[in-house]
């Protein structure tokens, strides 16, 4: 491995590890106030929304633009996931619908 | 000590993530090779960094001959969002040994975190379960990247609905999180604010900021609900 790439990888590894590790290292040892715990309870839903919604409304260049292919695929997956809470089946369904729509759109 | 049953359970829970990571990892491997990285270097990055978005950005910056320092800075900011996930996970591993926590946190990703949070009774004080989930996910990511770098495009990552695999996973994980009516409100607020933040801010600050804003609003809604009672 080239030294420049090794330095790059170690640097990236370190700055990625610290935000992953430090909260866990400290907060597992501190007493957490109830209200903070309550807020942390909303982190999964907040982050998941922040991941899913922009996929539907931004193009690859990062400009606002409705993405019909993603949007039309997302709706059946959303309804299916609501009825059948299966990760596996949702992923397969999503891929099939997206693939199928590719022939139509 | 590693609890084998829990580890196996966690590994099974990772399978939908594996489905998404293999092709995306492969796409990373292909691009890394095109940018001049060897398969060993691409694999090392997937082992030691293990963060999809920043790895793709690094490859793009390498191919533009940008030096290591700006790439590391960009990586730092992209991955700051893990602060929130690590904080959330901390509630489930009170007082565990730092060595255990360092292993668990090193493999934290959006995908494995979200799968872990879809059933918190599985992870609470069960580090082996989370370790199995995350280890399996990372092995898929490493295998994908090395495979892509070695063999090139075995499958076209734009075909067979692959671009929508991880999105479908996230949609289902989001639905699983909606357990009460006010969760829907938090989802709508987070969805709209993430779009606004992404629109006006560079990089992926929108995830971190949406996380802070929407959880704050969640607290406010929940407190307001309590006061009424």
Residue that is written with structure tokens 């009774």 in the block: B121
Confidence check: pLDDT of B211 > 90: yes
Compute the distance between CA of residue A73 and CA of residue A94 in angstroms, rounded to an integer.
Answer: 6
Mean pLDDT on B62-88: 96
Q: Is the pLDDT of residue B123 over 90?
A: yes
Instruction: Report CA A34 to chain centroid distance, whole Å.
Output: 27
Helix count and strand count (H, E) for chain A: 5, 0
Query: Residue A37's CB: how many other CB atoms inside 10 A?
Result: 12
The stretch B110-136 carries a mean pLDDT of 97
E-assigned strand segments in chain B: none
Report the C-alpha gap between B14 and B18 in whole angstroms. 6
Mean pLDDT of B152-158: 71
- The pair of structure tokens assigned to B49 is 């960094």
Token pair, residue B131, equals 């370790």
User: For B168-180, what is the mean pLDDT?
Assistant: 95
Does the pLDDT value for residue B198 go beyond 90?
yes
- Show residues of chain B in contact with A38, CB under 8 Å: 218-219, 222
Residues above pLDDT 90, as percent of chain B = 90
Question: Tens digits of per-residue pLDDT, A56-103?
Answer: 999 988 899 999 999 999 999 999 999 998 998 999 999 999 999 999
Q: What is the pLDDT of residue B229?
A: 62
Across the interface, do B207 and A47 touch by the CB < 8 Å criterion?
yes
Distance CA A1, CA A5 (A): 7
Contacts for B132 with CB less than 8 Å, ≥ 6 apart: B6, B7, B8, B9, B10, B11, B13, B14
- Find the closest chain A residue to B203 by CA distance: A62
pLDDT tens by residue, B24-70: 999 999 999 999 999 999 999 999 999 999 999 999 999 999 999 99
List all residues 6 or more positions away from B7 whose beta carbon is below 8 Å from its beta carbon: B128, B129, B131, B132, B135
Q: What is the mean pLDDT of residues A35-47?
A: 96
Cβ distance A39 to B219 less than 8 Å, yes or no, reads yes
Gap between the Cα atoms of A23 and B106, Å rounded: 12
Contact residues, chain A, for B110 at CB < 8 Å: 47, 51
Assess contact for B13 and B115: CB atoms under 8 A: yes
Question: Which DSSP letter does residue B65 get?
Answer: T
- Which residue in B71, B93, B174 is closest to A24 by CB distance? B93
Among candidates B124, B116, B119, which has minimal Cα distance to B96?
Answer: B124
Interior/surface letters A63-100, b for 16+ CB within 10 angstroms, e for the rest: eeeebebbeebbebbbebbeeeeebebbbbbbbbbbbe
The answer for B2, left when phi > 0, alpha when psi is -120 to 50, beta otherwise, is beta
Binary contact (B50, A62; C-beta < 8 A): no
Write down the mean pLDDT value for chain A: 95
Entry pTM: 0.92
């Amino acid at each position: 491995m080239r030294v420049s790439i090794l330095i790059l990888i170690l640097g990236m590894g370190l700055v990625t590890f610290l935000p992953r590790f430090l909260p866990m290292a400290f907060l597992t040892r501190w007493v957490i106030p109830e209200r903070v715990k309550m807020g942390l309870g909303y982190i999964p839903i907040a982050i998941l929304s922040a991941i899913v919604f922009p996929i539907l409304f931004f193009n690859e260049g990062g400009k606002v633009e409705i993405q019909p292919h993603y949007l039309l695929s997302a709706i059946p997956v959303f309804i299916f996931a609501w009825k059948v809470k299966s990760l596996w089946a949702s992923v397969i369904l999503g891929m099939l619908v997206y693939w199928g729509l590719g022939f139509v759109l | 000590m590693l609890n084998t049953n829990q580890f196996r359970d966690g590994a099974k829970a990772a399978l939908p993530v594996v489905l998404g990571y293999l092709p995306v990892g492969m796409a990373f491997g292909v691009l890394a090779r095109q940018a001049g990285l060897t398969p060993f270097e691409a694999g090392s990055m997937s082992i030691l960094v293990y963060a999809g978005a920043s790895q793709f950005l690094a490859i793009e910056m390498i191919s533009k001959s940008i030096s290591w320092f700006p790439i590391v800075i960009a990586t730092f900011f992209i991955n700051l969002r893990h602060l929130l996930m690590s904080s959330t996970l901390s509630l489930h591993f009170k007082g565990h040994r730092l060595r255990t926590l360092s292993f668990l946190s090193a493999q934290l990703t959006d995908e494995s975190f979200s799968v872990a949070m879809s059933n918190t009774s599985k992870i609470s004080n069960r580090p082996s379960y989370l370790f199995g989930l995350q280890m399996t996910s990372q092995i898929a990511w490493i295998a994908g990247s090395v495979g892509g770098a070695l063999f090139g495009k075995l499958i076209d990552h734009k075909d067979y609905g692959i671009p929508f695999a991880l999105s479908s996973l996230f949609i289902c994980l989001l639905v699983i999180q909606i357990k009460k009516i006010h969760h829907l409100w938090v989802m709508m607020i987070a969805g709209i604010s993430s779009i606004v933040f992404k629109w006006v801010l560079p990089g992926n600050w929108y995830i971190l900021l949406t996380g802070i804003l929407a959880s704050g609003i969640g607290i406010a809604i929940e407190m307001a609900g309590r006061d009424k009672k």
